Amino acid sequence: MQSATVTPTDHQLPQTLEPRNPGMALDLDWVRRAQANTSAIERRAKTLPGRRSVKKDYQAAWMLKAITCIDLTTLSGDDTEGRVRRLCAKARQPVSADILAKLGMPNLTTGAVCVYHDMVPTAVHALAGTGIPVAAVSTGFPAGLSPFHLRVAEIGESVTAGAEEIDIVITRRHVLQGNWQALYDEMKAFREACGNAHVKAILATGELGTLRNVARASLVCMMAGADFIKTSTGKESVNATLPVSLVMIRAIRDYYDRTGFRVGYKPAGGISKAKDAVTYLALMKDELGDRWLQPDLFRFGASSLLGDLERQLDHHVGGAYSASYRHALA
């Protein structure tokens, strides 16, 4: 595999490189035409892990690239201000100065820090002046079943508290019942409530039943103005998978071909190994091209991936694996 195009300037956060997806009218014909050939998708997904061998010289570049694309996440009922501050310190300096010096690299940061609404002020304060955005999970995360007006209000409160990115959860029922108009209206209202904050639509794909539903829900959310589509909350029993990713990435490609607007992709939940991160990056590069390897169009939603990436980088520069506890996050 070739090197990902990693240069020090890539580590800046190009949050505004791309014109925002304005959305479009709901095109039900297009939605109903969207299919997913499950056996072909699963066959292709099986060829991905392991097939790609990244040359040793490029391994560090791919891992650093992955780090710049992480939404460093803590979404636990027992989150505290202290834990969020430690997470933010890690987002500011995700890799030790020693490892970076050995790689001849300047400091880099993660793509964002992702927290519950309640922790937004703490994260905003801890990241002040860094340019690292705070992402808030709003809209009654993770089930998204609180009263609609409260979900919309929660978005407004997160934005007022300083969140620049909002991860909303869709109503799975709309998808399972094929009520595309309801999904479109909901997503459009969420997008409007976000104002200038970017909105990531969490589909909770593990609860959508079929890959065809995933393809259709992806399209509807993009038509309603989603800036990103995201697989999972991390709380479903099945979270990010390669088959689901293929379907969503291809929906993003179709949407781009038709409208000219690039929508971002965020696989989330259960991605904790460096080698899996590289597989996802390779998939983006293969299916969408290098432009989608930048943090304004690609993120990992992950709470523990950074630890393994740092450990692998440590091994890359030092030749030996360090204990996992040395790279614990919070």
Ligand X SMILES: O=C[C@H](O)COP(=O)(O)O
Nearest-approach distance from CB 319 to ligand X, in angstroms: 28
Nearest-approach distance from CB 43 to ligand X, in angstroms: 26
Say if CB 205 and CB 215 are below 8 A apart.
no
Distance CA 199, CA 255 (A): 17
Q: Of 227, 104, 119, 85, whose CA–CA distance to 165 is shortest?
A: 227
Q: Which is nearer to ligand X, 23 or 270 (CB)?
A: 270
Nearest-approach distance from CB 61 to ligand X, in angstroms: 23
Coil, strand or helix at 213? helix
Q: Which is nearer to ligand X, 6 or 303 (CB)?
A: 303
Q: Which of residues 109-128 bind ligand X (CB under 6 A)?
A: 114
Q: Which of residues 127-146 bind ligand X (CB under 6 A)?
A: none
Token look-up 């393994």 returns 308
Q: Which stretch binds ligand X (CB under 6 A): 62-70, 78-86, 95-103, 264-272?
A: 264-272
Contact between 264 and ligand X per CB under 6 A: no
Report which residue type is found at 129: G
Q: Which stretch binds ligand X (CB under 6 A): 220-228, 247-255, 263-271, 279-287?
A: 263-271
Nearest-approach distance from CB 277 to ligand X, in angstroms: 11
Q: Which is nearer to ligand X, 151 or 230 (CB)?
A: 230
Nearest-approach distance from CB 179 to ligand X, in angstroms: 25
Distance CA 108, CA 64 (A): 8
Nearest-approach distance from CB 18 to ligand X, in angstroms: 21
Site string for ligand X, 175-194 (x = CB under 6 A): --------------------
Which string of DSSP letters, residue by residue, matches 276-305? HHHHHHHHHHHHH-GGGGSTTTB-EEESSH
Pairing of strands 70-73, 300-302: parallel
Q: Which of 73, 110, 241, 312 binds ligand X (CB under 6 A)?
A: 73
Say if CB 216 and CB 175 are below 8 A apart.
yes
Nearest-approach distance from CB 62 to ligand X, in angstroms: 19
Q: Which of 23, 234, 267, 307 binds ligand X (CB under 6 A)?
A: 234
Which string of DSSP letters, residue by residue, matches 1-55? -PPP---GGGGS--TTSS---------HHHHHH----HHHHHHHHHTSTTT-PPP
Site string for ligand X, 266-305 (x = CB under 6 A): --xxx------------------------------xxxx-
* Omega of the bond leading into 142 within 30 degrees of 0 (cis): yes
Q: Which is nearer to ligand X, 34 or 72 (CB)?
A: 72
Q: Which is nearer to ligand X, 124 or 329 (CB)?
A: 329
Total residues in contact with ligand X, by rule CB under 6 A: 12
The encoded tokens of residue 327 equal 């790279």
φ, ψ (nearest 5 deg) of residue 256: -65, -45
Q: Of 14, 123, 9, whose CA–CA distance to 72 is shortest?
A: 123
* Residues known to be catalytic: 167, 230, 266
Q: Which is nearer to ligand X, 269 or 295 (CB)?
A: 269
Q: How far apart are the first and last CA of the chain?
A: 34
Q: Which is nearer to ligand X, 75 or 214 (CB)?
A: 75
Contact between 75 and ligand X per CB under 6 A: yes
Residues of the shown chain interacting with ligand X in the complex, contacts defined by CB under 6 A: 73, 75, 114, 233-234, 268-270, 301-304
